[in-house]
Chains A and B, each alone.
Chain A
Amino acid sequence: MSGSAGLRAGVVRALAALGAGQAPERLVVSAIPVELRRRLARPDLEVFGELAAGRGGSAVIEVLGRPLGAATVTLVLHGDGSKVTTALCAPEGRLPEELRLAAAELQPGPFALRDQEGLAATRAATALAWVAHQPSEIPSDHRWWSEISGLVMLGELMNEG
């Protein structure tokens, strides 16, 4: 997976596999994190992917690291393959007033997820701001990348305080 369309295409394929009851391990654990890492080009940020242990569980790909503090920018690929939610998450976090306008186009607070436990459920419960896309509605790579890097920027600004 390389080139500018790689991330979107990888997520769409992983969602299709999840929807079909398969476990897209290579995509979630390797290919998508590798592409995200390449695009971020930030040695101070780590990216990893995790597939839920049980069938039908959601997959998580997330960006974390010192510049983000306790926050993460997390892509939750819903276990039924219906959508991907990209969220800025932080345990006991709160989006500072200064950043509210920047996050105005995002949904605030936790988001609904079928998973009752696991990393995806934890992230859904601690989301501060998020946006969800069905596979057919994932924006163009340029726009989606702005969304993801915008969330990383919000996380860094939040951590800088």
Chain B
Amino acid sequence: MRRSRPRLSFITVEAVKVLVVEDHPMMVEGLRISLERAGLDVCGTALTAADGLELARRHQPQVAVLDFNLPDGTGAQLAEQLREASPDTAVIFVTGDESDSALLAALQAGARGYLLKSQPPSEVAEAVRQAARGVSVMPPGRISAAQMRAREAQRLQLEADRTRLAPRELEALTLAASGLATKQIATKLGVSLATGRWYVQQAIEKLGAHSKLEAVAKARRLGLLE
């Protein structure tokens, strides 16, 4: 039996087209070189969000590598603008910003990755490839921890807002925290016993407490007492 020769097929793999927006010239050049060495096509680099947006409109890159802190806005704002200017562009942040707020803003802006500037150049290139394939390279552990901290901060803020004490009520509570009885509090505040009692009672109620002691403890936890 005569075997047919295997047919050779040539597959052209197009390099992923990448835009880099980073305000530090050394970083932008370093990223360009490392991405090009990894076989990616850096179609443009920009030092500002405005220039980055313009280049994205022109080149429609598959991936945009953005710094978070840019001289004319945040990378998250730019990512949102890119959604209109270049809808198929996946966004990856490469930043030195370790804050929860930056990470969550990036997530909110639809970023597909969030890497730190100190990560090896090869990891950045790999993240770009993954993002171009539609894979998210966001750090799940960091995101859930940041979301948990943000929820807790929001809860404490809400609680603090709800329990906002009038200045005299706060003074009364501060005096109670130093161990004074209601009568002594009234004397210190220069008010009648009934008024002093009213201030303390208001503070207890606003804090959702059942006693002076509990109100003091709760106020301390909320950072209302110095």
Q: Which residues of A contact B (CB under 8 A)?
A: 4, 39-42, 44, 67, 98-99, 101-106, 141-143, 145-147, 149-154, 156-157, 160
What's the least CB distance linking B125 to chain A, in Å?
Answer: 12
| Among all A-B residue pairs, the 8 with the closest Cβ atoms | A102-B29, A150-B26, A146-B24, A149-B117, A145-B96, A153-B30, A40-B118, A150-B27
CB atoms of B26 and A156 under 8 A apart: no
> B222 contacts the other chain (Cβ, under 8 Å)?
no
What's the least CB distance linking B124 to chain A, in Å?
Answer: 9
CB atoms of A102 and B33 under 8 A apart: yes
CA–CA, A101 and B99, complex, Å? 31
CB atoms of B118 and A41 under 8 A apart: yes
CA–CA, A146 and B26, complex, Å? 8
Residue with the greatest number of chain A CB neighbours at <10 A, chosen from B98, B118, B119: B118
- Select from chain A the residue with minimum beta-carbon distance to B27: A150
What's the least CB distance linking B48 to chain A, in Å?
Answer: 15
Q: List 16 A-B contacts (CB under 8 A).
A: A39-B98, A41-B116, A44-B120, A67-B120, A99-B33, A102-B26, A102-B33, A105-B25, A143-B24, A146-B67, A147-B26, A149-B96, A150-B24, A153-B30, A156-B120, A157-B34
- Select from chain B the residue with minimum beta-carbon distance to A96: B33
Residues of A within 8 A of B34 (CB): 153, 157
Mostly, the A contact residues are helix
The listed residue (A39, A41, A141, A154) touching B26 by CB distance below 8 A is A154
Residues of A within 8 A of B37 (CB): 157, 160
CB atoms of B118 and A42 under 8 A apart: yes
List which B11-49 residues lie within 8 A (CB) of chain A.
22-27, 29-31, 33-34, 37
- B: interface residue count bin: 20 to 34
- Select from chain A the residue with minimum beta-carbon distance to B28: A102
CB atoms of B33 and A157 under 8 A apart: yes
CA–CA, A142 and B30, complex, Å? 17
CB atoms of B29 and A146 under 8 A apart: no
Residues of B within 8 A of A141 (CB): 96
14 additional A-B pairs beyond A42-B118, A157-B30, beta carbons within 8 Å, are A39-B96, A39-B98, A99-B29, A101-B29, A102-B30, A146-B23, A146-B67, A149-B27, A149-B117, A150-B117, A151-B26, A153-B31, A154-B30, A156-B121
CA–CA, A154 and B118, complex, Å? 11
> B97 contacts the other chain (Cβ, under 8 Å)?
yes
